[in-house]
Amino acid sequence: MSKTEIILIRHGETEWNVAGRLQGQHDSVLTAAGIRQAKSLARRMKSDRFNHLYSSDLGRAMSTAQEIAHLTHHKVIADPRLREKSLGILEGLTWPQAGEHYPEIVKGLEQRNYDYVVPEGESTQQMLTRTMDFLDQIADRHPGERVAAVTHGAVLSTLFRHLLGIPLETPRRFHILNTSIHEIAKENGTWWVNLLGDTHHTRVALDEVE
């Protein structure tokens, strides 16, 4: 059976990342640093071989994907299943603000119950279900090919726990940095994790990538 390889990428740094605001499915633009990260990422991806480029339809992911497409000339295919976890009424707040205004909701999140749903949001399990639906469909659609997809931190954090057999409620002990590159593959019906958290491209000077 053919193997499908998927390159998973977190979007570049945003203004709300810097401000410590909960983004969820709300959005903020890439910072100047985030744009530099995305340009360095694009240079890295230009030297890689892949057949298709997908992205979360949220602005920060699309902006990152478009930097890649500018150099690789792929069409960016938006898919809402790659969106960040919806944090409902908490989106736009900092953690201290969320704790002040919605202490019971924050308490629910801190208990790390993957079925807990923030009002007007979604649970970790719901996010994982749509993520795996996307990945399984991509593996079926593109057998023997290599696909890139730009997504979000919580998506990747939860996905790798799932694929590596780490309970979803376990605190994360690995970084998901902005524009970090991760690789997974589906082969003979089984998902494999081949690369975690590569950020070498972010250490390349911008004048080397323009």
CB 152 within 8 Å of CB 56: yes
Catalytic: 11?
A: yes
**Token pair recorded at residue 137:** 């469909």
Quote helix, strand, coil % in the chain, to nearest 5: 45, 20, 40
Catalytic: 175?
A: no
5, 13, 67, 84: the active-site residue: 84
In order of 8, 66, 150, 202, the CA distances from 141 in angstroms are 17, 22, 18, 31
Cα 143 to Cα 132: distance, rounded to the nearest angstrom: 16
Backbone angles phi, psi at 191, to 5 degrees: -90, 135
**Max Cα distance, the chain (Å):** 53
5, 11, 152, 183: the active-site residue: 11
**How many other C-beta atoms are found inside a 10 Å radius of the C-beta of residue 207?**
6
**Token pair recorded at residue 204:** 């390349």
Cα 51 to Cα 61: distance, rounded to the nearest angstrom: 19
Burial of 176 (0-12, 13-18, 19+ CB in 10 A): buried
Question: What positions carry a catalytic annotation?
Answer: 11, 84
